[in-house]
Homo-oligomer: A and B are copies of this chain.
Amino acid sequence: MTKPHNFSAGPGILPEEVLKQASQACINFDNMNLSLLEISHRSKNYEAVIEESQSIIKELFEVGNDYEVLYLGGGASLQFAMVPYNLLRENGTAAYVNTGVWASKAIKEAKIIGNTNVIASSEDKNFNYIPKGYAIPTNADYLHITSNNTIYGTQLKQFPKSPIPLVCDMSSDIFSRKINANDFTLIYAGAQKNMGPAGSTMVMVKKDALGKTGRKLLSMLDYQVHIKGGSMYNTPPVFPIYVTLLTLKWLKQNGGVAWIEKINQQKADLLYNEIDRNSLFFGTTTVEDRSNMNACFLTNKPELEPEFDKLWKEANISGIRGHRDVGGYRASMYNALPLASVQVLVDTMKEFEKKFA
Protein backbone atom coordinates (compact mmCIF):
# COMPACT_ATOMS: atom_id res chain seq x y z
CA MET A 1 0.00 0.00 0.00
CA THR A 2 1.39 3.39 -0.94
CA LYS A 3 1.10 6.31 1.39
CA PRO A 4 -2.19 8.25 1.14
CA HIS A 5 -2.27 11.80 -0.21
CA ASN A 6 -2.69 13.53 3.13
CA PHE A 7 -4.95 16.60 2.99
CA SER A 8 -5.64 16.53 6.75
CA ALA A 9 -6.62 19.94 8.19
CA GLY A 10 -4.36 19.43 11.18
CA PRO A 11 -2.46 17.84 12.68
CA GLY A 12 -1.28 17.86 9.09
CA ILE A 13 1.23 16.33 6.73
CA LEU A 14 4.96 16.51 7.55
CA PRO A 15 7.92 15.94 5.21
CA GLU A 16 8.93 12.30 4.76
CA GLU A 17 12.53 12.94 5.78
CA VAL A 18 11.36 14.63 8.98
CA LEU A 19 9.28 11.60 9.88
CA LYS A 20 12.24 9.30 9.30
CA GLN A 21 14.53 11.41 11.47
CA ALA A 22 11.86 11.61 14.17
CA SER A 23 11.47 7.86 14.10
CA GLN A 24 15.22 7.40 14.43
CA ALA A 25 15.41 9.83 17.38
CA CYS A 26 12.96 7.63 19.28
CA ILE A 27 15.68 4.97 19.30
CA ASN A 28 18.94 6.89 19.27
CA PHE A 29 19.02 10.66 19.53
CA ASP A 30 22.07 12.60 18.42
CA ASN A 31 24.33 9.56 18.79
CA MET A 32 23.71 9.49 22.55
CA ASN A 33 22.55 5.89 22.22
CA LEU A 34 19.49 6.94 24.19
CA SER A 35 16.01 7.77 22.96
CA LEU A 36 15.01 11.42 22.76
CA LEU A 37 11.99 10.33 24.81
CA GLU A 38 14.09 9.43 27.86
CA ILE A 39 16.79 12.10 28.17
CA SER A 40 16.90 15.22 30.29
CA HIS A 41 15.76 18.41 28.61
CA ARG A 42 18.74 19.95 30.40
CA SER A 43 21.23 17.81 28.51
CA LYS A 44 23.53 19.76 26.20
CA ASN A 45 22.26 17.81 23.22
CA TYR A 46 18.72 18.92 23.85
CA GLU A 47 19.49 22.49 24.85
CA ALA A 48 21.04 22.78 21.39
CA VAL A 49 17.69 21.77 19.87
CA ILE A 50 15.81 24.56 21.63
CA GLU A 51 18.45 27.13 20.76
CA GLU A 52 18.75 26.17 17.10
CA SER A 53 15.02 26.11 16.77
CA GLN A 54 14.62 29.58 18.27
CA SER A 55 17.33 30.89 16.04
CA ILE A 56 15.82 29.45 12.83
CA ILE A 57 12.43 30.97 13.71
CA LYS A 58 14.05 34.39 14.02
CA GLU A 59 15.94 33.87 10.80
CA LEU A 60 12.84 32.81 8.86
CA PHE A 61 10.93 35.76 10.28
CA GLU A 62 13.90 38.10 9.78
CA VAL A 63 13.58 39.64 13.24
CA GLY A 64 16.23 40.77 15.69
CA ASN A 65 16.90 40.42 19.37
CA ASP A 66 14.02 42.65 20.37
CA TYR A 67 11.94 39.50 19.87
CA GLU A 68 11.95 36.28 21.90
CA VAL A 69 10.81 32.86 20.71
CA LEU A 70 9.06 30.44 23.08
CA TYR A 71 7.71 26.92 22.76
CA LEU A 72 4.83 26.36 25.13
CA GLY A 73 2.41 23.54 25.85
CA GLY A 74 -1.36 23.89 25.79
CA GLY A 75 -1.89 24.66 22.12
CA ALA A 76 -2.97 27.92 20.51
CA SER A 77 -6.07 27.68 22.72
CA LEU A 78 -3.95 28.51 25.76
CA GLN A 79 -2.62 31.53 23.87
CA PHE A 80 -6.20 32.78 23.49
CA ALA A 81 -5.97 33.36 27.26
CA MET A 82 -2.29 34.23 27.59
CA VAL A 83 -2.39 37.05 25.04
CA PRO A 84 -4.93 39.22 26.91
CA TYR A 85 -3.53 38.09 30.27
CA ASN A 86 -0.11 39.48 29.31
CA LEU A 87 -1.06 42.42 27.08
CA LEU A 88 -4.44 43.75 28.15
CA ARG A 89 -4.05 46.35 30.91
CA GLU A 90 -6.38 46.18 33.94
CA ASN A 91 -8.49 49.07 32.61
CA GLY A 92 -7.51 48.83 28.97
CA THR A 93 -9.38 47.50 25.96
CA ALA A 94 -8.40 44.88 23.42
CA ALA A 95 -9.55 44.99 19.78
CA TYR A 96 -10.41 41.78 17.91
CA VAL A 97 -11.39 40.91 14.37
CA ASN A 98 -13.72 37.91 14.28
CA THR A 99 -13.08 35.71 11.25
CA GLY A 100 -14.25 32.34 12.54
CA VAL A 101 -14.53 29.80 15.31
CA TRP A 102 -10.93 30.18 16.48
CA ALA A 103 -11.09 33.97 16.53
CA SER A 104 -14.39 33.68 18.43
CA LYS A 105 -12.71 31.47 21.00
CA ALA A 106 -9.89 33.98 21.38
CA ILE A 107 -12.49 36.72 21.91
CA LYS A 108 -14.31 34.65 24.52
CA GLU A 109 -11.15 34.26 26.61
CA ALA A 110 -10.20 37.93 26.25
CA LYS A 111 -13.65 38.91 27.55
CA ILE A 112 -13.03 36.90 30.73
CA ILE A 113 -9.87 38.90 31.29
CA GLY A 114 -10.91 42.44 30.38
CA ASN A 115 -12.65 44.87 28.05
CA THR A 116 -12.80 43.44 24.57
CA ASN A 117 -14.01 45.22 21.51
CA VAL A 118 -14.89 43.23 18.37
CA ILE A 119 -14.19 45.85 15.73
CA ALA A 120 -15.04 43.74 12.66
CA SER A 121 -16.62 40.37 11.95
CA SER A 122 -17.66 38.20 9.03
CA GLU A 123 -20.07 36.15 11.13
CA ASP A 124 -23.01 37.50 9.08
CA LYS A 125 -22.01 35.25 6.16
CA ASN A 126 -20.73 32.24 8.13
CA PHE A 127 -17.21 33.68 7.93
CA ASN A 128 -16.88 33.16 4.17
CA TYR A 129 -14.97 36.43 3.71
CA ILE A 130 -12.36 38.58 5.46
CA PRO A 131 -13.63 41.94 6.82
CA LYS A 132 -11.75 44.94 5.46
CA GLY A 133 -11.66 48.70 5.84
CA TYR A 134 -12.52 48.74 9.53
CA ALA A 135 -11.22 51.47 11.82
CA ILE A 136 -8.66 50.39 14.39
CA PRO A 137 -9.14 52.17 17.75
CA THR A 138 -5.87 53.90 18.56
CA ASN A 139 -6.47 53.68 22.29
CA ALA A 140 -6.78 49.87 22.43
CA ASP A 141 -3.91 47.86 23.92
CA TYR A 142 -3.61 45.62 20.87
CA LEU A 143 -5.38 44.35 17.78
CA HIS A 144 -5.83 40.57 17.48
CA ILE A 145 -6.28 38.98 14.07
CA THR A 146 -6.25 35.44 12.67
CA SER A 147 -4.23 35.13 9.48
CA ASN A 148 -5.89 32.00 8.11
CA ASN A 149 -9.20 30.39 8.96
CA THR A 150 -8.90 26.64 8.54
CA ILE A 151 -12.58 25.81 8.86
CA TYR A 152 -13.85 28.26 6.21
CA GLY A 153 -10.84 28.46 3.93
CA THR A 154 -10.26 32.19 4.15
CA GLN A 155 -6.93 33.96 4.48
CA LEU A 156 -5.82 37.53 5.12
CA LYS A 157 -4.00 38.49 1.95
CA GLN A 158 -2.97 41.86 3.33
CA PHE A 159 -2.39 42.53 7.00
CA PRO A 160 -3.96 45.70 8.44
CA LYS A 161 -1.60 48.62 9.00
CA SER A 162 -2.10 48.85 12.72
CA PRO A 163 -1.35 51.95 14.83
CA ILE A 164 -1.47 49.69 17.93
CA PRO A 165 0.42 46.47 18.74
CA LEU A 166 -0.60 43.78 16.27
CA VAL A 167 -1.12 40.22 17.54
CA CYS A 168 -1.72 37.36 15.13
CA ASP A 169 -2.78 33.74 15.43
CA MET A 170 -0.87 32.18 12.51
CA SER A 171 -1.52 28.56 13.49
CA SER A 172 -2.64 27.45 10.06
CA ASP A 173 -0.45 29.40 7.66
CA ILE A 174 2.78 30.19 9.49
CA PHE A 175 5.84 30.09 7.24
CA SER A 176 3.68 29.44 4.18
CA ARG A 177 4.36 32.90 2.69
CA LYS A 178 6.52 35.96 3.19
CA ILE A 179 5.26 38.44 5.76
CA ASN A 180 6.84 41.40 7.46
CA ALA A 181 7.17 39.92 10.94
CA ASN A 182 8.53 43.19 12.31
CA ASP A 183 5.04 44.66 11.93
CA PHE A 184 3.80 42.32 14.65
CA THR A 185 4.15 42.54 18.42
CA LEU A 186 3.21 38.93 18.95
CA ILE A 187 2.76 35.97 16.63
CA TYR A 188 1.64 32.57 17.86
CA ALA A 189 1.00 29.27 16.15
CA GLY A 190 0.09 25.78 17.25
CA ALA A 191 2.80 23.70 15.58
CA GLN A 192 0.58 20.99 14.12
CA LYS A 193 0.03 22.36 10.64
CA ASN A 194 3.09 23.88 9.00
CA MET A 195 5.65 23.58 11.78
CA GLY A 196 5.57 20.13 13.33
CA PRO A 197 3.42 17.72 15.31
CA ALA A 198 0.80 18.56 17.95
CA GLY A 199 1.98 19.34 21.46
CA SER A 200 3.86 22.59 21.22
CA THR A 201 2.94 26.14 20.35
CA MET A 202 5.38 28.74 19.10
CA VAL A 203 5.12 32.26 20.48
CA MET A 204 7.27 35.07 19.15
CA VAL A 205 6.92 38.25 21.15
CA LYS A 206 8.50 41.68 21.29
CA LYS A 207 10.02 41.90 24.73
CA ASP A 208 9.24 45.55 25.39
CA ALA A 209 5.50 44.92 25.08
CA LEU A 210 5.46 42.80 28.23
CA GLY A 211 5.05 43.57 31.92
CA LYS A 212 2.69 46.50 31.51
CA THR A 213 -0.71 45.19 32.56
CA GLY A 214 -0.54 45.81 36.30
CA ARG A 215 -1.74 42.25 36.76
CA LYS A 216 -0.03 39.74 39.07
CA LEU A 217 0.53 36.80 36.73
CA LEU A 218 0.48 33.05 37.31
CA SER A 219 3.97 31.81 36.40
CA MET A 220 3.01 29.39 33.65
CA LEU A 221 0.88 32.06 31.96
CA ASP A 222 3.58 34.72 32.14
CA TYR A 223 5.61 35.19 28.96
CA GLN A 224 8.34 36.93 30.94
CA VAL A 225 8.77 33.87 33.17
CA HIS A 226 9.19 31.65 30.10
CA ILE A 227 11.59 34.12 28.49
CA LYS A 228 13.68 34.22 31.65
CA GLY A 229 13.74 30.42 31.66
CA GLY A 230 14.92 30.24 28.04
CA SER A 231 11.66 28.47 27.11
CA MET A 232 12.54 25.85 29.74
CA TYR A 233 10.90 27.28 32.84
CA ASN A 234 9.33 23.86 33.12
CA THR A 235 9.99 20.64 31.22
CA PRO A 236 9.07 21.55 27.64
CA PRO A 237 7.33 19.22 25.17
CA VAL A 238 10.70 17.73 24.21
CA PHE A 239 9.82 15.54 21.24
CA PRO A 240 7.29 17.88 19.55
CA ILE A 241 9.85 20.70 19.69
CA TYR A 242 12.53 18.49 18.16
CA VAL A 243 10.26 17.49 15.27
CA THR A 244 9.45 21.16 14.81
CA LEU A 245 13.16 21.88 14.52
CA LEU A 246 13.49 19.15 11.88
CA THR A 247 10.59 20.67 9.93
CA LEU A 248 12.04 24.16 10.12
CA LYS A 249 15.42 22.84 8.95
CA TRP A 250 13.72 21.08 6.05
CA LEU A 251 12.10 24.38 5.08
CA LYS A 252 15.29 26.37 5.43
CA GLN A 253 17.48 23.88 3.57
CA ASN A 254 15.08 23.78 0.65
CA GLY A 255 15.00 27.52 0.18
CA GLY A 256 12.98 28.94 3.06
CA VAL A 257 9.69 30.80 2.98
CA ALA A 258 10.25 32.33 -0.48
CA TRP A 259 10.67 28.80 -1.90
CA ILE A 260 7.60 27.31 -0.22
CA GLU A 261 5.44 30.33 -1.00
CA LYS A 262 5.88 29.69 -4.72
CA ILE A 263 4.97 26.02 -4.39
CA ASN A 264 2.01 26.83 -2.17
CA GLN A 265 0.80 29.28 -4.82
CA GLN A 266 1.14 26.62 -7.52
CA LYS A 267 -0.83 24.12 -5.44
CA ALA A 268 -3.58 26.65 -4.67
CA ASP A 269 -3.80 27.82 -8.30
CA LEU A 270 -4.04 24.25 -9.53
CA LEU A 271 -6.89 23.38 -7.17
CA TYR A 272 -8.88 26.63 -7.34
CA ASN A 273 -8.67 26.64 -11.13
CA GLU A 274 -10.24 23.21 -11.15
CA ILE A 275 -12.90 24.21 -8.59
CA ASP A 276 -13.85 27.13 -10.85
CA ARG A 277 -13.62 25.15 -14.11
CA ASN A 278 -15.37 21.99 -12.99
CA SER A 279 -19.15 22.15 -13.55
CA LEU A 280 -19.84 20.00 -10.49
CA PHE A 281 -17.96 22.05 -7.88
CA PHE A 282 -17.93 25.56 -6.49
CA GLY A 283 -15.84 27.32 -3.84
CA THR A 284 -17.45 28.46 -0.59
CA THR A 285 -15.59 31.73 0.03
CA THR A 286 -15.20 35.12 -1.55
CA VAL A 287 -12.65 34.60 -4.32
CA GLU A 288 -10.26 37.35 -3.16
CA ASP A 289 -10.07 35.86 0.35
CA ARG A 290 -9.41 32.27 -0.67
CA SER A 291 -6.88 30.53 1.53
CA ASN A 292 -3.81 28.99 -0.06
CA MET A 293 -3.74 26.53 2.84
CA ASN A 294 -7.31 25.26 3.03
CA ALA A 295 -9.56 25.15 -0.02
CA CYS A 296 -13.23 24.59 0.82
CA PHE A 297 -15.60 23.51 -1.92
CA LEU A 298 -18.99 21.93 -2.38
CA THR A 299 -20.55 19.96 -5.17
CA ASN A 300 -23.67 21.47 -6.70
CA LYS A 301 -25.16 17.99 -6.90
CA PRO A 302 -25.04 16.91 -3.24
CA GLU A 303 -26.80 13.68 -4.15
CA LEU A 304 -23.60 12.68 -5.95
CA GLU A 305 -21.35 13.13 -2.91
CA PRO A 306 -21.17 9.39 -2.20
CA GLU A 307 -19.90 8.87 -5.76
CA PHE A 308 -17.17 11.48 -5.38
CA ASP A 309 -16.27 10.02 -1.97
CA LYS A 310 -15.81 6.65 -3.63
CA LEU A 311 -13.54 8.14 -6.29
CA TRP A 312 -11.19 10.02 -3.98
CA LYS A 313 -10.89 7.08 -1.67
CA GLU A 314 -9.92 4.92 -4.64
CA ALA A 315 -7.33 7.55 -5.53
CA ASN A 316 -5.76 7.04 -2.07
CA ILE A 317 -6.69 10.54 -0.92
CA SER A 318 -7.30 11.13 2.78
CA GLY A 319 -8.55 13.97 4.96
CA ILE A 320 -10.64 16.05 2.52
CA ARG A 321 -13.97 15.82 4.31
CA GLY A 322 -15.16 19.38 5.08
CA HIS A 323 -15.61 20.70 8.61
CA ARG A 324 -19.16 20.21 9.91
CA ASP A 325 -19.69 24.02 9.95
CA VAL A 326 -19.23 24.24 6.16
CA GLY A 327 -19.83 20.71 4.86
CA GLY A 328 -18.61 19.40 1.53
CA TYR A 329 -14.87 19.19 1.05
CA ARG A 330 -11.77 20.86 2.40
CA ALA A 331 -8.36 20.21 0.93
CA SER A 332 -5.61 21.38 3.25
CA MET A 333 -2.40 22.05 1.37
CA TYR A 334 0.16 22.66 4.07
CA ASN A 335 3.83 23.19 3.30
CA ALA A 336 4.74 19.50 3.23
CA LEU A 337 1.99 18.49 0.81
CA PRO A 338 3.49 17.78 -2.63
CA LEU A 339 2.09 19.42 -5.74
CA ALA A 340 1.64 15.88 -7.07
CA SER A 341 -0.98 15.17 -4.39
CA VAL A 342 -2.99 18.19 -5.50
CA GLN A 343 -2.72 16.92 -9.08
CA VAL A 344 -4.21 13.59 -7.99
CA LEU A 345 -7.13 15.40 -6.37
CA VAL A 346 -7.67 17.56 -9.45
CA ASP A 347 -7.59 14.49 -11.70
CA THR A 348 -10.16 12.84 -9.46
CA MET A 349 -12.41 15.90 -9.70
CA LYS A 350 -12.12 15.79 -13.50
CA GLU A 351 -12.94 12.11 -13.53
CA PHE A 352 -15.97 12.79 -11.36
CA GLU A 353 -17.18 15.43 -13.79
CA LYS A 354 -16.63 13.19 -16.77
CA LYS A 355 -18.69 10.43 -15.21
CA PHE A 356 -21.51 12.38 -13.64
CA ALA A 357 -21.90 15.83 -15.18
Residues on A lying within 8 angstroms of B by beta carbon are: 1-4, 6, 8-14, 19-20, 22-24, 26-27, 32-35, 37-41, 72-78, 80-81, 85, 105, 108-109, 112-113, 190, 192, 196-200, 216-221, 233-240, 243, 318-319, 336
B27 touching A20, Cβ below 8 Å:
yes
Given A1-B33, A81-B221, A112-B216, A237:B198 Cβ within 8 A: yes
Bound Cα distance A6, B36 (Å): 12
Extra pairs beyond A11-B235, A113-B218, A192-B238 (9, CB < 8 Å) = A2-B33, A4-B34, A14-B38, A19-B27, A73-B74, A73-B237, A75-B220, A75-B234, A105-B219
Residue on B nearest A78 in the bound complex, by CB: B220
Minimum CB–CB distance for A257 against chain B, Å: 21
CA distance A73 to B27 in the complex (A): 24
Number of copies: 2
Contact between A38 and B23 (Cβ–Cβ < 8 Å)? no
Query: Which listed residue, B40, B199, B318, touches A239 by the CB 8 Å rule?
Result: B199
> A1: which B residues are within 8 A, CB to CB?
33
Q: Identify the closest chain B residue to A81 (Cβ).
A: B218
| A20 partner residues in chain B, CB cutoff 8 A | 26-27
- Are B199 and A81 in contact (CB-based, < 8 A)? no
